[in-house]
Amino acid sequence: MPDDRESLIRKLFAAYLANDRQRVADALADEFRFTSPFDDDLDKAAYFERCWRDTGWIARHDIERIFVAGDEAFVTYRCLATDGRSFRNTEFLTFEGGKVRRIDVYFGAAFQDGHFVPQSR
């Protein structure tokens, strides 16, 4: 089962990068919830309304690690934007019935020229 979860995570990242909203929606459970430092416990409709946008600004995601334990997983990745900016995040996902039930995002620092860049407050 961990391989299935890892595969689903990789497919979700690929769908997001391809700006394929339908594939992303299909991977999320009907009862999906999303939390980030800017979003508190959004449902699926609110997630798409508030958080979905054209992903054309993303050049690529470099998935650094995926750790799966049962119906839970962590994924850490670096996102490289088309303008050269980048950042690193970790997401905690839970699964139910072969779909993503919840995502909690933890934002990371910006990354530039091989070094972390301090964030302004």
Digit-coded pLDDT (tens) for 10-61: 999 999 999 999 999 999 999 999 999 889 999 999 999 988 877 788 899 9
d(CA 63, CA 105): 14
Record the tokens describing residue 46, joined without a space: 């609110």
Q: Which CATH number is associated with domain 2-117?
A: 3.10.450.50
Q: What is the DSSP letter of 118?
A: P
Helix (H) or strand (E) holding 88: strand 86-96
Per-residue model confidence (pLDDT) at position 121? 45
83-120 pLDDT, tens digit per residue, is 888 888 999 999 999 999 999 999 866 766 777 776 55
Query: pTM of the entire structure?
Result: 0.85
User: What is the dihedral angle through the alpha carbons of 55, 59, 64, 67, rounded to the nearest 10 degrees?
Assistant: 20
The residue assigned the tokens 């979700």 is 12
**Residues composing the chain:** 121
Domain ranges of the chain: 2-117
